[in-house]
Amino acid sequence: MTLWTIQRIPAWQQFQANGILRATAEYVDPFFMAAYAWMREQMAARIGPPPEPDGYPVWAWYRYAGEKKPRPDLRCGGHLCRGVRGVRIEIECAPETVLLSDFSEWHAVLSHRYIAASEAEADAFDDERLIANRVWHNSCASRPDFVARIRASWERIFDLERYVEGLTSELEGRMIQACLWQGRMDQVRDVTPFVSR
């Protein structure tokens, strides 16, 4: 399975020196720590535990702009902060070491939102949430039953064949991200330096 990871120059230099690319909590934005912890749980359950106890996901792309354009386009902005030097590293990984997920739906996990199976379910959940907020005068985010349902809904990001008109991306153009515990130097097939736009 071919993947592309975008890394800053210091990470690439450390990868070259150690022969292994790993991520740790120090590079995770504290605002996203809960979402990353959830992804770590999913990775451990689906592809096995990290080789190091403090391991965090190494993020990569499997399909940057759908099947026809899987490799990240370095002419686009947003890969790194503007003006930062980085590299796009192409690696070849065994599929069983990678957890794929829908990039667009990952944003629901980052923002602690419910992922509905249909528009009707989305409307019903929103109505229920609004009623709960009025009745109990607090956020449903503090109610364990709502939190459990929201977290359970996040597992839909792993169903890459799921299509719901108005809720998900078209299958052909879907952006698919990859999480792996580590990359090894012997997996590297190509490295392209760039300056982020």
Tens-digit pLDDT profile for residues 107-165 = 999 999 999 998 899 999 888 888 777 665 556 556 788 889 999 999 999 999 988 77
Directed axis angle between helix 103-110 and helix 33-47, to 10°?
130
pLDDT of residue 137: 55
117: number of Cβ within 10 Å: 13
Domain that residue 181 falls in:
2-113+158-195
Residues in Cβ contact with 68 at an 8 Å cutoff, skipping those fewer than 6 apart: 172
Amino acid at site 110: L
pLDDT of residue 138: 58
Is residue 100 in some structural domain? yes
Q: What is the pTM of this model?
A: 0.92
Is residue 102 in some structural domain? yes
Is residue 140 in some structural domain? no
Number of domains in the chain: 1
Q: Within the chain, which residues score under 70 in pLDDT?
A: 134-142, 167
Is residue 126 in some structural domain? no
Residue 7: enclosing H or E segment and its boundaries? strand 2-8
pLDDT of residue 141: 58
Q: Are 189 and 92 in contact (CB under 8 A)?
A: yes
Is residue 40 in some structural domain? yes
pLDDT of residue 107: 95
Distance (Å, whole) CA 175 – CA 178: 10
pLDDT of residue 42: 98
Rg (CA), the chain: 18
Q: Please, what is the Cα angle at 182 between 100 and 72, to 5 degrees?
A: 55
Is residue 164 in some structural domain? yes
Is residue 104 in some structural domain? yes
Is residue 26 in some structural domain? yes
